[in-house]
Amino acid sequence: MFETLGDKFEGIFRKLRGQKSLSEDNIKEAMREVRMALLEADVNYLIVKEFVSRVRETAVGQEIVKGVDPAQQLFYIVHKELVRMMEGEAETDKPFAVQPAKENNIMLLGLQGAGKTTFCGKLARWIEKEGCKPLLVACDVYRPAAIEQLKQVGGGLGIPVFEMGTETPPLKIVQEARKWARENHRDTLLIDTAGRLHIDEVKMEELQGIRDTIKPDYVFLVADAMTGQDAVNSAKSFNDEIGIDGVCLTKLDGDARGGAALSIKAVTGKPVVFVGVGEKPDDLERFHPDRVAQRILGMGDVSSLVEKAQEAIDETEAESLREKLGEGKFTYDDFIKQMKMINRMGSLKGLLGMLPGVGNMLRDVDNDALKKEFGRVEAIILSMTKQERDNPDLIRTDGRRRDRIAKGSGHTLKQVNDLVRQFEQMRAMMQQMAGGGGMLGGLKGMMGKGAKGGETPSPDAFGPGAMPQEMPQPGSREYKEYRRQLKQMKQLERQSRPTTAPLPRNQRKRQRKKNR
């Protein structure tokens, strides 16, 4: 998400590093590149003009803070303005929340091909996690196989779908669906309305009739992020004709440049509520302007990473692992359990991209290759006997066992040796993190500082992701904390760079012999 735009900003800040101060000349040059970066990301040109003007005005009038280089000062200003552009007047937004055991009605609008029906299933899954019982209502009676598609989506999730065929008017379907939901104790209606190829072909009277009859708690427009400014224009048209409470963007994991996500709030006044970041039912995220700004600027998104970790962690397994680690034990079975918990958190590339200083380096990483690597490791471990998995030292000290495991799993001896070596390194690290319950527990404890059950730590707790609301005065406590955070960001950047040169040829040969 936003990798290209993030690369552009990184290049802009890199050019400013080492200069003594912010001047009109270097600000002008930087703003020219910022303008081009945003336009190439398909951000609305009027929004770009206003954004650049605000950043330039703030930067030119910025008092030079001793010890803070121009890149850091401009970084702070750009971050603040990016959040402001995407957030707008946040206090005027209608906050989205569903309440279990209370009737919740959500109406979904959109053009054909935006992924509305698939999004309907993802939102139902998200609502189910909130403790509600959703019902999918098939009101798209015009598109061939639309009802069948929604039934397949609902069937895969175990969520019922209410439909009355293609001959019944949508308004009648909604009225009957509401009665059925009350009789069958379903508290949330998700109404999948019909889409059209063009905005002027949409039967606005039909949509208005459904809205006036059911009086939905939320009306969301589902838009395709890959259409760029067309998504913004359709959001504006639907808002003018029907009235929407927010926009949900799909396909943001594709080659979308992100301009729609950055522009919608400023153009329509309506917030982006959800974004689809994958094809799986769980690949749905709430849209947080501050977190998106952090990702664009290479600061990562530790808040979202911790939230995903909290959902994936099995507290019973984490406590059991914590006890084992306290006794100095960590087996191959424990290793597989940790890997599976990480897999449940979603796209591996997406997870790594949430780490500060790492996101923009993963542009060319193949997520399928990472999944295959997990499968390879699992195949090797499952080729071990129960005794070997419970006692890793048996494999580490016995080459014949490793040879047998390689043949049984269909892998080379070198691959098995590599896994054994990586496991030993992982075991040492896990024992250091024993108090946190392993990789995910350690992340939760380290980042959340004790956050439990559903509590989400504030982004201010995450070092590099914390940004002061105003530039602190030199000598103050806030200024010292600000400098500490900047130092941490530089350290993370250095750590993310490759630091080791390849071994000479003779050493590589000795290493291969040793591995055998």
Give CA–CA dist 163/176, Å, rounded.
Answer: 9
**Nearest residue to 168 (alpha-carbon basis) of 213, 136, 208, 137:** 137
Q: Do 145 and 249 reside in the same domain of the chain?
A: yes
The pLDDT value given to residue 450: 38
Residue 93 lies in a domain: no
Q: Do 314 and 435 reside in the same domain of the chain?
A: yes
Q: Do 320 and 292 reside in the same domain of the chain?
A: no
Residue 397 lies in a domain: yes
Of 410, 444, 478, at which residue does a domain stop?
Answer: 444
* Residues 409-420 pLDDT 10s: 999 999 899 888
Backbone conformation region of residue 165, classed left if phi is above 0, alpha if psi is from -120 to 50, else beta: left
Residue 284 lies in a domain: yes
CATH number assigned to the domain comprising residue 63: 1.20.120.140
Give CA–CA dist 424/427, Å, rounded.
Answer: 5
Strands (E) across 21-160 are located at 104-110, 134-138
361 vs 392, residue with greater confidence:
392
Q: Do 430 and 477 reside in the same domain of the chain?
A: no
8 Å CB contact between 350 and 370: no
Q: Do 474 and 364 reside in the same domain of the chain?
A: no
CATH number assigned to the domain comprising residue 422: 1.10.260.30
Burial code (b: 16+ CB inside 10 Å, e: under 16) for 86-99 equals bbbeeeebeeeebe
* Residues 90-136 pLDDT 10s: 677 788 888 888 899 999 998 888 888 999 999 999 999 889 999 99
* Least confident piece of the model among 89-98, 196-205, 465-474: 465-474
Backbone conformation region of residue 448, classed left if phi is above 0, alpha if psi is from -120 to 50, else beta: alpha
Residue 458 lies in a domain: no
The pLDDT value given to residue 453: 37
Q: Do 178 and 51 reside in the same domain of the chain?
A: no
Query: Where does the pLDDT of residue 204 fall: very low under 50, low under 70, confident under 90, or very high at 90 and above?
Result: confident
Q: Do 171 and 37 reside in the same domain of the chain?
A: no
Give CA–CA dist 222/257, Å, rounded.
Answer: 17
Q: Do 514 and 381 reside in the same domain of the chain?
A: no
Residue 459 lies in a domain: no
Using the predicted structure, report yes or no on whether residue 248 has a pLDDT greater than 50.
yes
Of 277, 296, 315, at which residue does a domain stop?
Answer: 296
Q: Do 243 and 344 reside in the same domain of the chain?
A: no
CATH number assigned to the domain comprising residue 151: 3.40.50.300
**Range of 40's domain?**
3-87
Q: Do 164 and 272 reside in the same domain of the chain?
A: yes
Query: Where does the pLDDT of residue 488 fall: very low under 50, low under 70, confident under 90, or very high at 90 and above?
Result: low
Query: Where does the pLDDT of residue 457 fall: very low under 50, low under 70, confident under 90, or very high at 90 and above?
Result: very low
The pLDDT value given to residue 150: 93
The pLDDT value given to residue 47: 87
Residue 455 lies in a domain: no
Q: Do 76 and 128 reside in the same domain of the chain?
A: no
Using the predicted structure, report yes or no on whether residue 137 has a pLDDT greater than 50.
yes
* Residues 429-441 pLDDT 10s: 666 655 444 444 4
Residue 94 lies in a domain: no
The total number of structural domains that make up the chain: 4
Using the predicted structure, report yes or no on whether residue 326 has a pLDDT greater than 80.
no
Give CA–CA dist 230/103, Å, rounded.
Answer: 34
Q: Do 337 and 191 reside in the same domain of the chain?
A: no
Of 244, 277, 296, at which residue does a domain stop?
Answer: 296
Give CA–CA dist 330/336, Å, rounded.
Answer: 11
Residue 187 lies in a domain: yes
